[in-house]
């Protein structure tokens, strides 16, 4: 019985997304219509509309998938081993040295081809 109600719930996803679009569109229109009101009230109203829309969107199949993705990314983020200060500084210096070296090499190649072009063109 649970599969039937869950499947029915996902069949109504189009309606939920339509509701989300209507709420956000309405809040944008309300922000324009009440442009004479305080900015604070308009921002609070817009944030409430975004929260309601986010809640409704989270009830859809794609919304649940996005939430699962966010939790998975958070879990992976915690597994990252960040470099020490010394490793960071050494890597930065190596990258800068390679950039300077490549700039000099490219400058040399450019100068060489410019010299060749001057010889050919006179």
CB of 83 closer than 8 Å to CB of 91: yes
Q: What is the pLDDT of residues 75-101, one digit of tens each?
A: 999 999 999 999 999 999 999 999 999
Phi and psi torsions of 80, nearest 5° = -70, 135
Task: Give the residue numbers spanning the domain of 121.
Answer: 82-122
Q: What is the DSSP letter of 17?
A: H
Q: Distances from the Cα of 29 to the Cαs of 1, 19, 42, 45, 51, in angstroms?
A: 42, 15, 11, 12, 17
Q: Where does the chain show beta strands of DSSP type E?
A: none
- Shared domain for 25 and 41, answered yes or no, is yes
Rounded Cα distance, 24 and 17, in Å: 11
- Shared domain for 73 and 13, answered yes or no, is yes
Q: What is the pLDDT of residues 23-40, one digit of tens each?
A: 999 999 999 999 999 999
Taking the model in full, what pTM does it have?
0.55
Structure-token match 């309606």, residue found: 15
Output the average pLDDT for the chain.
Answer: 91
- The tally of domains found in the chain comes to 2
- Shared domain for 97 and 45, answered yes or no, is no
Give the pLDDT band of residue 2 (cuts 50, 70, 90).
low
């Amino acid at each position: 019985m649970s599969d039937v109600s869950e499947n029915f719930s996902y069949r109504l996803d189009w309606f939920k997304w339509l509701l989300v679009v209507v709420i956000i569109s309405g809040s944008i229109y309300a922000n324009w219509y009440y442009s004479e009101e305080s900015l604070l009230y308009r921002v609070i109203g817009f944030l409430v509309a975004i929260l309601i829309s986010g809640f409704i969107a989270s009830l859809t199949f794609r919304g649940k998938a996005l939430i699962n993705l966010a939790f998975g990314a958070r879990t992976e983020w915690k597994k990252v081993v960040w470099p020490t200060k010394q490793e960071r500084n050494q890597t930065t210096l190596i990258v800068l040295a390679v950039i300077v070296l490549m700039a000099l090499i490219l400058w040399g190649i450019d100068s060489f081809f410019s010299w060749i072009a001057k010889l050919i063109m006179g």
